[in-house]
Amino acid sequence: MKKQMNNRMRKLNYIMPLLLLIAVVSCKPKGNDDPVAKLAALKEQKAAIETQITALEQELVTKGVIEKKLPTVALTELKVAPFSHFIDLQGKVDADESVAATSKMPGVLKRILVKNGDNVKKGQLLAELEDAVMLSSINELKGQLQVAEDLYNRQKSLWDQNIGSEVQYIQAKNNKESLERSMATLKENWNNTRIFAPTSGTVDNVILNPGEAISPGVPLAIILNLSKLKVKGEVTEAYASKVSKGDKVQVHFPDTGKDVITTVNYVSRSINPVSRTFSVESAVLNGDYKANQIAVLKIIDYQNPKAIVIPVNLIQSSQEGDFVLVAEKTGVDNQATIKRVVVKQGQNYNGYVEILSGLKAGDLVVSTGFQDINNGETVLF
């Protein structure tokens, strides 16, 4: 008889909540077609039913009518820890100096004396243009200049002895000086048939080949000065007020796995009208980096050295707002009572969120199994 009574009570334990739900739903106001209101009403009904179920189960467990297996959860004790929010963007390594070596005059390349990867010094000869015609003109003018200098020296010697006319002396002098100026101009033009390195660095890209034409403004090669490197990136316009010169930056190089801590040393004052981004630059230490190498920049735009931080997936939502389930120990071994705590969120990054209010250091947050438990329920941990 007692066994039958227990079976009936167990059945009643499962049937009563269902009957209660049917009764509540059947008693809801008619003619309300507002879906928002319906949703709010159903949530209220659900909360009320869950509370009654919990109370009824607790009463039956206390009387020994049913045995309830307590759910098992995992708890995490909260601690104060530093929290940082980053602006993530992709950038690239760039040389502090990237200069094109060009010719000062048009011509045809005769020889190129460097190749990609060569280290050069400022002023080093890189290439020569065809100069046969110009050298022939220099040799011809050189002969004329020698004759003019000889005539000038003779006229000067006579003039010093008060022999000869002043006109002859002046003509010889002007002829010599005119040829000297012509020679200087011709030599300067000949010197322009040679291309020199505009800066010290590494030859990154030899663009032309011997026999090809070159003119002022057309680069022969690119010289990179890798003694000073920088990382450039583009930041979306939304962060324009949050990025400043001097901000800390974590630079990660995916190819090598290296990380560098540096600072923002340049922030563009204009927004790109097409991409709606602005440029930032950060200096990096010298190392085994290559121009145009990909880098991931993490600019720190917010820091809290003493924050309460939890995984963002622990936060649930209700009509009262965002909440987290916290466990309070009952005094019985490995048992705790669940409490719903409304929280206010701050910044979040990489799956973690800063809690501005509601939680404190030492609180036990339900980190596993929180989906299957309710407010006021007793659990094992």
Task: State whether 143 and 167 are in the same domain.
Answer: yes
Task: State whether 207 and 236 are in the same domain.
Answer: no
58-70 residue pLDDT tens: 777 677 777 667 7
Inside any domain, residue 144:
yes
Task: State whether 188 and 169 are in the same domain.
Answer: yes
Q: Select from 237, 203, 236 the least CA-distant residue to 219.
A: 203
Residue 162: DSSP 8-state: T
Task: State whether 109 and 206 are in the same domain.
Answer: yes
Task: State whether 294 and 147 are in the same domain.
Answer: no
Inside any domain, residue 113:
yes
Task: State whether 245 and 184 are in the same domain.
Answer: no
| Bridge partners, 311 (sequence order) | 352
CB of 374 within 8 A of CB of 48?
A: no
Q: Which of 188, 214, 240 is the last residue of a domain?
A: 214
Q: Which of 279, 304, 329 is the last residue of a domain?
A: 304
Q: Which domain holds residue 38?
A: 1-68
pTM (predicted TM-score): 0.55
Inside any domain, residue 75:
no
Inside any domain, residue 243:
yes
CATH number reported for the structural domain that contains residue 153 in this entry:
2.40.50.100
Scan for tokens 């005119």, then name that residue. Answer: 178
Inside any domain, residue 356:
no
**HSE toward the beta carbon, residue 319, CA cutoff 13 A:** 11
| Bridge partners, 301 (sequence order) | none
Task: State whether 205 and 300 are in the same domain.
Answer: no
Inside any domain, residue 204:
yes
pLDDT of 5: 44
Q: Select from 297, 177, 291 the least CA-distant residue to 234.
A: 297
pLDDT of 360: 92
Q: Select from 321, 326, 298, 299 the least CA-distant residue to 310.
A: 326
Task: State whether 253 and 269 are in the same domain.
Answer: yes
CATH number reported for the structural domain that contains residue 256 in this entry:
2.40.30.170
Inside any domain, residue 139:
yes
pLDDT of 68: 65
Task: State whether 47 and 9 are in the same domain.
Answer: yes
Structural domains in the chain (count): 3
Task: State whether 91 and 235 are in the same domain.
Answer: yes
Task: State whether 112 and 209 are in the same domain.
Answer: yes
Task: State whether 107 and 209 are in the same domain.
Answer: yes
259-306 residue pLDDT tens: 888 899 999 989 999 999 999 998 876 667 777 889 999 998 888 999
Q: Which of 280, 304, 328 is the last residue of a domain?
A: 304
State in Å, rounded, how far the first CA of the chain is from the last one.
37
Q: With a cut of 50, which residues of the chain have pLDDT below it?
A: 1-12, 14, 18, 21, 24-25, 27-31
Inside any domain, residue 200:
yes
